[in-house]
Chains A and B, each alone.
Chain A
Amino acid sequence: MDYLYKINNNNGITIKQFVSDLEGYETLEDLTKTSGTGKRRIRYPEFGSLGLLFLKFFKNHVSGQIYLLENRKNSYFYSLSFEEKKRFLESIKHLNVPLFVICGHKPLKRDVSLFREYNFPLYYTRDKRKDARDKIERYLNFIFAKKISIHGVLMDVFGIGILIRGKSGIGKSELAIDLLEKRHRLVADDLVIVHRNGEFITGYGLNNSPFAFHIEARGVGLINIKNLFGVEAIRVKKRVEIIIDLVSGDKIDNANFDRIRVKPQFENLLDLEIPKYTIPVTYSKNLANLIEVVALTHIATIMGQGAVDAINENINKSQKKQVIDKYFFIADDE
């Protein structure tokens, strides 16, 4: 499945690959069984609009786009007579449609032979239209999504995906082991592939490689996390929500370092802004605890309880009132 990780798949995927990948997830039955069509390529991650084809508006069609037919009692395709179906296929025979997926009732044999005649492969699915559409488009979106590889560690800390970056030798892997000891989960070490999934960034490692879920720590060597910490310590993929940059402590410009994060830092990853924290690494610092706090802070901020916001609010309030809290005089007078 090497092709899955090809960055920027502009060449599309073959029908053969498409069907075998979806097997077990969305079973597609080849009805037309025409030879040589397996090499045709799907080049667009979305189903085309079938209604526009029926209306003979072809400008919307993208070469290599697939279509989903519905063969149910109330559907348009079902209501067409054999002759009308033939006329429809005749009108679109010049288009590059790699395949049609049909759902609902199994089509009649003469309809199937009609598709065979015009050299359009027809695949049948038992799923409902919505399910078939969801599954196939999710798969195609993944295949066609822009992907980049990042040198870092991706961890799941309290359910927040944290991508830890930094120069080699700064202690990313050691930090990952610390976090694993605190029962957080590892997604990928060293090579993290991220792709955009709508409004999210999803990261994963090369899970089919023999070195998946391994960590390399200086002086220790390769560590098999799945064997050592068990399945609870690993995760196949995770949404990336925070980026943490580890920088060498003596290289930090203390004068310009935003210590209370009045202005949160962001990093542009595949055109999405991801919150970024820069953490100086010095000896005697417990980074794992710090990362945990970062994750919790992030959760608090999502819930609208960010520390900086709350303090700002309190300051505004007290400035308006200009009085001392009355509890200052009452409580704990010892």
Chain B
Amino acid sequence: MINKKFQVKSKHGLHLRPATELIKITSQFDGEITINKNGIEVNGKSILGILSLGIEKNNWIIIKIEGEEEESFIKILGDFFGREE
């Protein structure tokens, strides 16, 4: 299991379109992914959960990931949150 903190760099935060892209990535993963903001934890594969968190630019989130290929996935997620567009 990996626990990692990320800062969201995307200009408008995780609004509808980026969240959909995030779901596309996380859905390919077989194990469990959770996203945690301010202590509220949501399933990383559920779009409504992620949208309800209202993640904005420069917010810190904690990703918890467990399963096979977790290391390669956390790298992909790191790239995703680091994007600035």
Contacts and interface: CB of A to CB of B under 8 A. Distances in A.
A190 B39 contact: no
A211 B48 contact: yes
B39 A191 contact: no
A168 B46 contact: yes
Contacts of B42: 149, 151, 190-191
B49 A190 contact: yes
Interface residues of A, number: 23
13 contacts: A7-B40, A8-B39, A149-B42, A168-B43, A168-B45, A189-B48, A190-B48, A190-B49, A190-B52, A191-B46, A206-B40, A214-B48, A216-B47
Nearest to A215: B48
Contact of B52 (A6, A148, A206, A215): A206
A6 B39 contact: yes
Contacts of A191: 40, 42, 46, 48-49, 52-53
A209 B37 CA distance: 14
Interface residues of B, number: 15
B28 interface: no
B43 A6 contact: no
Interface in A78-114: none
Contacts of B47: 216, 222
Interface of B: 38-43, 45-49, 51-54
Contact of B54 (A209, A214, A215): A209
A211 B48 CA distance: 7
A205 interface: yes
Nearest to A206: B52
A193 interface: yes
A2 interface: yes
B34 to A, nearest CB: 8
Given A8-B39, A149-B40, A191-B40, A209 B45 contact: no
A222 B46 contact: no
A151 B46 contact: yes
Interface in A219-259: 222
A195 to B, nearest CB: 12
Contacts of A222: 47-48
B39 to A, nearest CB: 3
